[in-house]
Amino acid sequence: MGSVNGRRFQRNDPVRPHAGRAPLRRDDNHDVAQWFETTLGTALGQVTAESVTRLVPPGYFRTGFQAGFVPVNLLQRAESPFFQSFTKASACANNSAAGLICQPEQLPFAAREIDLLALPFVLDFSLDPHAVLREAHSVLAPEGCLVICGFNRWSLWGLRRLLRLGVRQAPWSGSFLTLSQVQDWTRLLGLELVSAASVFYRPPISQARLLQQTAFLEAAGDRWWPLFSGAYVIVVRKRAFGHSALLEPVRSARRRTQKPLVSALPRQVAKERLRVLRG
């Protein structure tokens, strides 16, 4: 047991490694974080942050938490933001915010405590993305929002990852989950889809000059080939328990009037019985 700003928490059970993948070393997290500081990673992070700002619905988010390696602030609307840190020396996205050393599968928060939770490109590099989503669902407050960003497998980015044989370096070492997979997993947890968008249609090139010259593909791709974007952003909401029952009045059941027994008798006998009853 421990505490964060007076909040008590309990760590979950150890997470089992995802089948088919070797456990991530501490250096792997550092490599992914370093890639997001490159020219291509920075451009992807900026476009993702702009999309998240547009997609998150308006509202009051008291406590926010952002996990992952992207050095951008996706918690602009949270009053008290927290960011994940892997070491004491790692810098968080906002110097004025608190950095917590933790793992996405074991967040140091109590149940139903986070109002805005951001997972930018976390599921792609997680050993167990199911455990990450279950933990996110546990700490998310009712009517709280969960932001998920990931690489699109069916794109030039996914093709480049597929063609890189042998040992893959970041970010090609990630799983590159499909959008339909992530939507199915969130739906099974009872999370309601709020908004979604495809982002970053530029090819995975590292030269800053070429990235700037291909910036026109952002508008063209969003119109003509949205399914082949390099990344995606989805926002889901945790529905409050019994919310619909509180808003919708319970309709009283209609009273069933018992039909006369004479309806099952022959027609002539039924008419005679009705005449006697009316008379």
* Averaged confidence pLDDT in the chain: 80
Domain assignment present for residue 262? The answer is no
Domain assignment present for residue 95? The answer is yes
Q: For the segment 217-265, what is each residue's pLDDT rounded down to a tens digit? A: 988 888 888 889 999 999 999 998 644 433 344 444 444 444 444 444 4
Q: What is the pLDDT of residue 266?
A: 53
Using the predicted structure, report yes or no on whether residue 269 has a pLDDT greater than 60.
no
Q: Based on the structure, what is the number of domains in the chain? A: 1
Name the residue range of residue 75's domain: 2-248
Q: For the segment 94-120, what is each residue's pLDDT rounded down to a tens digit? A: 444 568 889 999 999 999 999 999 999
Higher-confidence residue of 48 and 99: namely 48
> Poorest-confidence range of 3-7, 52-56, 60-64, 221-225?
3-7
Q: Is the pTM of this model over 0.85?
A: no
Domain assignment present for residue 259? The answer is no
Domain assignment present for residue 272? The answer is no
SS (H, E, C) the chain: CEEECCEEECCCCCCCCCCCCCCCCHHHHHHHHHHCCCHHHHHHHHHHHHHHHHHCCCCCEEEEEECCCCCCCCCCCEEEEEEEECCCCCCCCCCCCEEEECECCECCCCCCCEEEEEEECCHHHCCCHHHHHHHHHHHEEEEEEEEEEEECCCCHHHHHHHHCCCCCCCCCCCCCCCHHHHHHHHHHCCEEEEEEEEECCCCCCCCHHHHHHCCCHHHHHHHHCHHHCCEEEEEEEECCCCHHHHHCCCCCCCCCCCCCHHHHCCHHHHHHHHHHHHC
State mean pLDDT over 18-29: 47
Q: For the segment 141-196, what is each residue's pLDDT rounded down to a tens digit? A: 999 999 999 999 999 999 999 987 767 888 999 999 998 999 999 999 999 999 99
Domain assignment present for residue 258? The answer is no
Domain assignment present for residue 116? The answer is yes
Domain assignment present for residue 25? The answer is yes
Q: What is the pLDDT of residue 241?
A: 66
Write the CATH number for 87: 3.40.50.150
Confidence band of 272 (pLDDT split at 50, 70, 90): low
Domain assignment present for residue 24? The answer is yes
